[in-house]
Structure 1
Amino acid sequence: MKEKSKSELPPQEQDHQPGRESEMHPKPDYEPRFPGSGRLQGKSALITGGDSGIGRAVSVLFAREGAKIAIVYLEEDNDAEKTKAIVEKEGTECLLIKGDVGSAKFCADAVRRTVKEFGGLDVLVNNAAEQHTQDEVDEVSEEQLEKTFRTNLFGYFFMTQAAMPHLKKGASIINTTSVTAYRGHDTLVDYASTKGAIVSFIRSLSKQLAGDGIRVNGVAPGPIWTPLIPASFDADKVAKFGRHVPLGRPGQPNEVAPCHLFLACADSSYMTGQVLHPNGGEMVGG
């Protein structure tokens, strides 16, 4: 039997959330693997957390497929500017919007700016997230609990509420959840709880919007090499990150982004309320 390939990540950590892609080594692989085929030509997409990690890969892939891209990010100016340059190199427009998705006022402003810049909104990707490890549940402070839910769940609600007046038949909402929604995580109890709530959000909202022709789906990545990893775990855990899955390694952002593209375009026209699982082989959902 062929031995599984192992993660070869060097030990590293960052002391700030949500992390900087520019400080990671090796750098995550965000580049699309194939030429575009115009699957999002003439569309506009707003992607939260689009400056780095999975969000960067989604932004670049959507751009290659013809979409105009609005990227919402918290504070990582260098990462955001690099992503903007990569998106524009694909031959499309890119709007950077800096702010906190935990604020309903900011989300409304971000959607307003996107619609004003691009003339409409066709695809919303709720992707921004934060996570903080705690060994014991009683170590999760009220402040941490509220902050994690505000970013990971409230932000999805606020952005969706702001987008709804602009979404027409054929539009798509894609929410990034996590494998932790299905199997849990012993040191990310609050984070995993938000991701479980997102699954319910997907299923419930999809029912509500099906009659309007607006599809709502999700993507539940497994261990993916993004800035959240060195920003969340100590150096030793980072070095072993992703080894536990059947494929024996962490995934790359460009191995997740095609799921978002599939759900954004007409290829998935008969899918709503569903979640895709790029997780390295973990079996979830029974």
Structure 2
Amino acid sequence: MAANHGPQDPVTKHPQPEFPQQDQPHPGWTGPMDPPPDHGEESYRGRGLLTDRKALLTGGDSGIGRAVALAYAREGADVVFTHLESEENEARETVRLVEEAGRKAVAVSCDIREEEQCRALVERAVDELGRIDILVNNAAYQMSQPDGIGAITTEQFDRVVRTNLYGMFWLSKMALPHMPKGGCIINSASVQAYKPSPHLLDYAMTKGAIVTFTQGLAQMLASDGIRVNAVAPGPVWTPLIPATLPDTVEFGKQAPLGRPAQPAEMAPAYVFLASPQASYITAEIVNATGGTPLP
């Protein structure tokens, strides 16, 4: 597995805009993307940081979720992950990558907007893995509305809130009885929590709530030996981008590093927060924004 361990310029390490304009129907797929996203297939090298850990991950079929599943597997963890029914082909690729690393992979079609589906997901994960050491609440929904709040329908608002908040709340609540001391919850927040883009108003609102949920739950569970943290990515090149934003040509150019992150660049933060090295870290938000200063 090739890897470059010498110094690398973070500006030129991965493709920089301008990118071709590309549009996809939601939820988007990896294959048509130009340039193709990097999930760490050729670069991520495990060090046994998560040997025999058991992870439940939402939204693991593509993007950040696939990169995290791959990294967890190469660090020694077994992974149950969710995908939408329409993302079955994407999920097969994540399964392949995890199994290629010698770990167990279980893909579960699940709509986390539904409480009973969340309950069934946790039960399936426990049946498959025996316990849940790591819960990664990563699945999210967004849809750009450049015409403002008046263009955000109740249907869209409900989908954003139920996907981004209800699912996270239910899964955290339901997973905890199956989580031993030393377990952890990692939530996917966003730079949008601190610097909201007007056209992503409802999405940004939920990401702010995820920050608050993370910090509050961490304090609640500290005495139980369960850590709760979040990662706040900046712009990341995933299928959600051509599926939900009208302009992909200059996506990520606004970051001080001048480009979007690749999913592979997010995965190490999720590995670190799940690892024993982060044993004294809880209620923290790891900002991975490409240089955008956050509070």
TM-score norm. by structure 2 comes to 0.92
Give the match's secondary structure for 2:198.
coil
**Counterpart Cα distance in 1 of 2:27 and 2:215:** 27
Matched residue type, 1:227: P
From the superposition, tell whether residues 243 and 49 of structure 1 become closer, same or farther in structure 2 (CA, over 3 Å). same
Q: How does 1:105-116 map to 2 (within 5 A)?
A: 105-116=116-127
- Within 5 Å, give how 1:37-186 maps onto structure 2: 37-75=47-85, 76-135=87-146, 136-186=148-198
Q: Percent identity?
A: 46
State yes or no: 1:24 paired with 2:36: no
1:197 aligns with 2:206: no
Moved more, 31-40 or 56-65: 31-40
Partner AA of 2:114 in structure 1: S
Q: Secondary structure of 2:253's partner?
A: coil
Please tell me the root mean square deviation across aligned C-alpha atoms, in Å.
Answer: 1.3
Provide, for residues 193-214 of structure 1, a one-character-per-residue CA deviation record: whole Å limited to 9, x for no partner: 0000000000110010000000
2:26 paired with 1:36: no
Deviation larger for 91-100 or 17-26: 17-26
Report the residue type matching 1:149 in the other structure: V
Cα shift at 1:228: 0.6
For 2:276, give the aligned amino acid: A
| 94-103 or 23-32, which deviates more | 23-32
One-letter amino acid of the structure 2 residue matched with residue 184 of structure 1: P
Distance in 2, Cα, partners of 1:104 & 1:97: 15
CA distance in 2, matches of 1:103, 1:162: 13
Whole-angstrom distance in 1 between the partners of 2:177 and 2:222:
15
- The one-letter code matched in structure 1 to 2:130 is G
Distance 1:87 1:8 in 2: 32
The runs of at least 4 aligned residues of structure 1 exceeding 6 Å deviation read: none
2:165 counterpart SS class: helix
Structure 2 residue ranges without an equivalent (≥5): 1-8
- Report if the CA contact (8 A) 1:103-1:158 is conserved: no
Which residue number corresponds to residue 274 of structure 1? 284
Deviation for aligned residue 1:22: 2.3
SS at match of 2:254: coil
Deviation at 1:163, TM superposition (A): 0.3
1:34 deviates by 4.1
Alpha-carbon distance, 1:150 to partner:
0.2
Deviations 1:42-99 (A, max 9, x none): 1110110001000000000000000000011112011000110111000000001101
- Offset of residue 36 of structure 1: 1.2
Question: Per-residue deviation at 1:25?
Answer: 2.0
How many equivalent residue pairs?
280
Q: Corresponding residue for 2:261?
A: 251
Q: Which amino acid aligns with 2:31?
A: S
List runs of 5+ in structure 1 lacking aligned partners: none
User: What is the letter of the counterpart of residue 55 of structure 2?
Assistant: A
Match of 1:216 in 2: 228
Letter in 1 for 2:103: T
Q: Indicate conservation of the 8 Å contact 1:73/1:97, yes or no.
A: yes
CA contact (8 A) 2:44 2:71 kept: no
1:202, 1:216 within 8 Å by CA — same for their partners in 2? yes
Contact 1:45 1:69 in 2 (8 A): yes
- Report how far residue 23 of structure 1 moved: 2.5
Q: Distance in 1 between matches of 2:19 and 2:94?
A: 23
TM-score norm. by structure 1 comes to 0.95
Q: What residue in structure 1 maps to residue 242 of structure 2? A: 230
Distance (whole Å) between structure 1 residues aligned to residue 214 and residue 27 of structure 2: 24
Contact residue 148 and residue 191 of structure 1 kept, 8 A: yes
Give CA-to-partner distance per residue, 1:221-243, whole Å, 9 cap, x none.
00000011000112xx2010000
